[in-house]
Structure 1
């Protein structure tokens, strides 16, 4: 009898945890906007209501370091909103088990070369503990600097390979301007710095040991004379 009472006591304590658990899952893995100055991109945000109840969520806030010349819009079907101005108007209703595919993010790259990240927090209108977050990153490039996908003004740099990487990730490169200072930085998905590598003009490849990295998505950035040139994705697996 005592053991039964203990079991129900633990079950009672677990109820708030279960109620507050996330009930809508974000299926879009690592939303990334990468393009040239003045361009606009649209990405789909896919959501899954994993419950047997109708769920309605309101946009709680937009957090991040979006530049003054960049702009993000949230579109539900054909209706688009400015999350800074139309916060109270942005509402999502998902039927039981529904897979929502008509939610989009439009991102205006603006007129300034930069990069950053932001996230959108949605909260259940009837339960503040029930929420989900949509995370996104962006990198804005100056097309005047880039000749093509790999050939830049001062350096030719390959994409990282293999990608995904398990033990070692490698870059091949060739300096066209020996006086330029080139480096590659690696950041976590949320922007935390992981590593920094100077490129040696006397060599033509850089091998990185990723065996100590946690599995997941990373972003590497090429800097020339401390100027952000391009940002791309690196996936690490075990």
Structure 2
């Protein structure tokens, strides 16, 4: 019995010696994106193929809490893929012993102050039990500019006022380049579209009737020729 227990313990301790080693290791662990609303950041993902064989991995899924106004792109060299729409296109091929340094994550912060995390789960093309995970977290802080109005080469506008507002909110503006198309889009706190207003160069004032809005925090974004320029906060109260 004693001999049996000795052999059993030896086998138990010896199990890790026979376990398969991970083929690919993530050297850039816990990527941390920190920035302001509307910003984008790029972080490098470094991978090491520790095996003596060529390994090919594909992106199985993205797990975590990504908001509707946020965006994650995976770039390998000059090719970038949307993590939501191009899932099946993301493949990584690593030569024996190769350290990959030209893979990047581009993260668009979105229009809401928030924080969270997400994982990219990669599977070996020839052995689904072999995988690796790229982990990332993010923290999005307040609007991109101070509450003192905003000036662009094509337009100048004030902050919305009164803010908070319970009836009519107003933005005064001057369009300096009449060839551009400027508009203000309003989104809810979680990023859902609420209203969109085209700015008339001949008016100079936008009046927003918020009496039908639910009380809470909203964000208004200036678009010029459909390009997102700046986002600020609007508070509605009753």
**Bin of the TM-score, shorter chain as denominator length:** 0.5 to 0.7
Counterparts of 2:29 and 2:146, CA distance in 1: 27
Counterparts of 2:17 and 2:130, CA distance in 1: 11
Alignment correspondent of 1:139: 139
Q: How many residues align?
A: 141
* Deviation beyond 3 Å, 4+ runs, structure 1: 13-17, 143-147
Listed as ranges, the gaps of 5+ residues in structure 1 are: 148-238
Equivalent runs, 1:184-203 vs 2, <5 Å:
none
Q: Deviations over 1:161-194 (max 9, x none)?
A: xxxxxxxxxxxxxxxxxxxxxxxxxxxxxxxxxx
Alignment correspondent of 2:108: 108
Equivalent runs, 1:165-204 vs 2, <5 Å:
none
Counterparts of 2:146 and 2:64, CA distance in 1: 27
Counterparts of 2:133 and 2:24, CA distance in 1: 10
Counterparts of 1:17 and 1:59, CA distance in 2: 28
Listed as ranges, the gaps of 5+ residues in structure 2 are: 148-238
CA 146–64 in structure 1, closer or farther in 2 if over 3 Å, else same? farther
Larger radius of gyration: 2
Q: Deviations over 1:48-105 (max 9, x none)?
A: 1111110000101100001111110000011000121111110000000000001100
Please say if 1:24 is aligned against 2:24: yes
Alignment correspondent of 1:87: 87
Please report how far the alpha carbon of residue 130 of structure 1 lies from its aligned counterpart in structure 2 after TM superposition.
0.8
Counterparts of 1:69 and 1:116, CA distance in 2: 14
Alignment correspondent of 2:184: none
Counterparts of 1:144 and 1:27, CA distance in 2: 32
Counterparts of 1:32 and 1:25, CA distance in 2: 18
Counterparts of 1:141 and 1:91, CA distance in 2: 33
CA RMSD of aligned residues (A): 2.8
Q: Deviations over 1:193-234 (max 9, x none)?
A: xxxxxxxxxxxxxxxxxxxxxxxxxxxxxxxxxxxxxxxxxx
TM-score by length of 2: 0.54
Counterparts of 1:117 and 1:94, CA distance in 2: 27
Q: Is the 8 A contact 2:37 2:144 kept in 1?
A: no
CA 146–130 in structure 1, closer or farther in 2 if over 3 Å, else same? farther
Counterparts of 1:53 and 1:110, CA distance in 2: 40
